Structure 1
């Protein structure tokens, strides 16, 4: 019986018998070619020796597992000089030698394993009618040949973390074809340089600001053009701004207040507790924990300042205090201890907000009874408790007792002081993307402090250079940054000069490490799917074949 034409990998076989149940489909097939080629001398031979049956698993049909009983013939080799006397006919399009799965089934399981890993892949394969163990699936992943292709010319290099802050590796990406070309188990200049030396066709290396990969590129590909990634340039500038802005906290705080209002002018309208005598132990515990954290920061600040005044270097101070060098640099230059941080809570819509105008109107009409007001808004659709109304009424009474219009405490709030990170983000953002209140805030910041105005102008100039790739303006920007009154920008400019050639090309060419960062994120996903069994060989195989 001829096999259907929609099974092309079985076209060279003859179907002798089939059995179908709800749990398994069994096909007994045999080869139809009268001859077979000797695998050693490649001579076509037709003299048969014997037969035997191979049991091979195939891809499922409609979720039902399929088993092939393949009748294989043995032949005599007719070449007298061939060392092989007897051979079994090969079936290269159906099954490999000694394999118990067809090539189609092996390819399907490899794709499942590369996408999901061992345990998850085995569960999906069983649901699809392709039962396989997770260990066998991992073995199939390891046996997958790495993808071929042309040697890379433009390579992106970045680090990836086995364990963040402790152990790192290196990922290398072909930026022209957007695929991972290799994964290295360590983050070292020697290993990366050796990898680059083995590929002399590399003409461009895109990297971050790390001196390690810059050294590796110089040693492994001295003729290649190095490009500093633009995102890392902006990130370094933002870090410098975050260190600089806390020195001007007073200007940031005053600019955050409403126009014509001092920074602390709203303190007399703060609501405070409506029932001062009621103990609030949860709030007290949170405030005590916040005070203790701030006390530790102040102690750390004073220790860093004292050691710096005694002549200790930054690395020694960081080791003795137990903090990072960046923190030492920031605290060393701060004129005063860091201010306590207030927890950021996103604004929530209050259930009483839709009814507050009506309550204010009734209050002004002379109705000051809380329960009566509660019953009235219940008739208007309010479906919550009376305690919210009572608190609102108590707030109105306190406003009148203080000589303020009723509702002032509810409507007037102290303006929060933006964090240094938030202000740095505003400095880097396009002016057209800012909200009106953000533009007004930045205008007040620039008017309040000359150094902040200079920092904003130079930051916007550099951001424009990055977005529009205007590398020809870099020298003029560096000259202006070197003479400005912003220490953070002077240090940033000095760092750019130390890597000037790569920075200039990065601000001119279109290449970036964006695809590399994307593959690092995909690598994190694959690493977490390993459930502890992701050794480097397995992880590298999945990244190269699946990514």
Structure 2
């Protein structure tokens, strides 16, 4: 019998040693467990003296974890001891069972830790629903209180850190997140993103040797003042982002070149010598050629894959070069024509279909001199139940005046040209490559900008920071407003930029932490105070 009670204690209280199970009484969906302490003495919380003189005992009913889906009612008998020190203000005190109870606690320690774990993962409302499903006890406010009661993890002694800002209220209030650049663990969250907030934190960590940061002057100032021994590294992602913004300002300054571009004729589609079956060719010729963005992308990808294969590259090498899967490259390589990569899509019907013959006839009768509003009123009188927008879209696509001259294509936008100059050439379609060549041939300033972008991209991807001085000189003498200003900024932060272009340190892990902070903020919408957000970020990581 003694062995059975000992085994039962190990099942019900595996992490508590000084407790004995007296009785277990199941009653429907409730299990009543009676237990008591087995300690011989207890420590007075007032003076620290140990006492073995029992003054009395009583029952406590702390909430506990459920067992096998049943609610557990724990009846714990605790004793009140008399303090042996006559000078102690406490005459008597109640024993606390380590790992099970605490003073004035209404739940066991394991229930508190379980509720805190749910709060860390799901926050308030979602955590409350999960707690109810698990049969635990706790409201959403209780969950958040349990999270706030958890102690912070020690920062330790990191030697390399990453620093970046995150939005507490986008566009208004920003904070600072600091992580260990080696272990990627979040070290701390600061309520501001200025040097006065980051400086004291860095001053308390004199062992820091590397600081990965963005181009913000506040972080550079804090590192210079509080951690002069640290090696500052400007992140390559932010360098490229700043260059892209500089190129956009340059293109905007020369947008007059875009409006005076000559008309660009599209190049004929290359003919591939891949054999096509004779009996299937007739059926394919009868089908209209696919059109649209998807068709343009399929055509460009098909041409690119076959061009690389003709240069002697294997499918594995093509997949590695383009960043595609080998199955995708294999499908393009085995396709006789790019049209074979298009899926057949049935034309969608619309409310306007029954009235299209009438609209075409009225358009021919009036010679294209009838407005869309009049056509809309006429077909509405004949039962049309659609909108004017649907009619206007079909009219622009299907109806043209007999003597009308097609309008010239609109010039490319500043954003489009910026993308053509800063994206990898392998990611451009054939039409984009043609337009890019035409723009660079027409505007020598943008041609100079494209050369500087290509040179900087090679320096950034190959970690050739020794070319930085030469690039800054070329950019500052190029007389391009945006890029020249960018070069001046690089020169003012030369050491950090040079370190970013020569070492493998970067702020990628910090950006991932910022994304996780955004997820936690969405979970805590309406109750995301900084203290609670900081606690969840530090402990959830």
Common fold by TM > 0.5: yes
Aligned to 2:41: 36
Alpha carbons 2:9, 2:21 under 8 Å: kept: no
Unaligned runs of 5+ in 2: 268-291, 296-345, 370-396
| Residue 100 of structure 2 corresponds to residue 94 of structure 1 | yes
2:506 to 482, 504, 512: 512
Secondary structure in 2 matching 1:67: strand
RMSD, aligned CA:
3.7
Instruction: Give the whole-Å Cα distance in 2 for the aligned partners of 1:80 and 1:245.
Output: 86
Task: Give CA deviations for 1:486-530 in whole Å, capped at 9, x if unaligned.
Answer: 232212111110111111011112222222222223223333433
Alpha carbons 1:396, 1:407 under 8 Å: kept: no
| Residue 423 of structure 2 corresponds to residue 429 of structure 1 | yes
2:534 to 536, 540, 543: 540
Aligned to 2:335: none
Following superposition, the deviation at residue 23 of structure 1 comes to 4.8
Following superposition, the deviation at residue 485 of structure 1 comes to 4.2
Aligned to 1:335: none
Q: 1:149 to 1:499 in 2, by over 3 A?
A: closer
Following superposition, the deviation at residue 218 of structure 1 comes to 0.8
1:131 to 122, 132, 137: 137
| Residue 215 of structure 2 corresponds to residue 209 of structure 1 | yes
Paired residues for 1:252-267 under 5 Å: 252=258, 257-259=263-265
Q: 1:489 to 1:149 in 2, by over 3 A?
A: closer
Following superposition, the deviation at residue 455 of structure 1 comes to 0.8
| Residue 395 of structure 2 corresponds to residue 390 of structure 1 | no
Q: How many pairs are equivalent? A: 428
Question: TM-score scaled by structure 2?
Answer: 0.69
Following superposition, the deviation at residue 44 of structure 1 comes to 7.2
Following superposition, the deviation at residue 544 of structure 1 comes to 1.6
Following superposition, the deviation at residue 199 of structure 1 comes to 1.6
Alpha carbons 2:202, 2:223 under 8 Å: kept: yes
Alpha carbons 1:395, 1:407 under 8 Å: kept: no
Following superposition, the deviation at residue 401 of structure 1 comes to 9.4
Alpha carbons 1:256, 1:418 under 8 Å: kept: no
Q: 1:100 to 1:472 in 2, by over 3 A?
A: same
Unaligned runs of 5+ in 1: 262-345, 350-379
Alpha carbons 1:34, 1:46 under 8 Å: kept: no
Aligned to 2:390: none
Instruction: Give the whole-Å Cα distance in 1 for the aligned partners of 2:152 and 2:190.
Output: 15
Deviates more, 1:454-463 or 1:428-437: 428-437
Q: 1:158 to 1:252 in 2, by over 3 A?
A: same
Paired residues for 1:45-444 under 5 Å: 48-75=54-81, 86-252=92-258, 257-259=263-265, 384-385=350-351, 386-387=353-354, 389-390=356-357, 393=360, 415-444=409-438
Instruction: Give the whole-Å Cα distance in 2 for the aligned partners of 1:243 and 1:395.
Output: 49
Instruction: Give the whole-Å Cα distance in 2 for the aligned partners of 1:420 and 1:503.
Output: 28
Alpha carbons 2:9, 2:20 under 8 Å: kept: no
Q: 1:71 to 1:461 in 2, by over 3 A?
A: same
Q: 1:53 to 1:451 in 2, by over 3 A?
A: same
Following superposition, the deviation at residue 107 of structure 1 comes to 1.0
Q: 1:457 to 1:22 in 2, by over 3 A?
A: farther
Alpha carbons 1:256, 1:416 under 8 Å: kept: no
| Residue 451 of structure 2 corresponds to residue 457 of structure 1 | yes
Q: 1:414 to 1:132 in 2, by over 3 A?
A: farther
Aligned to 1:492: 486
Q: 1:430 to 1:392 in 2, by over 3 A?
A: farther
Following superposition, the deviation at residue 200 of structure 1 comes to 1.2
Secondary structure in 2 matching 1:173: strand
Instruction: Give the whole-Å Cα distance in 1 for the aligned partners of 2:105 and 2:87.
Output: 29
Q: 1:108 to 1:513 in 2, by over 3 A?
A: same
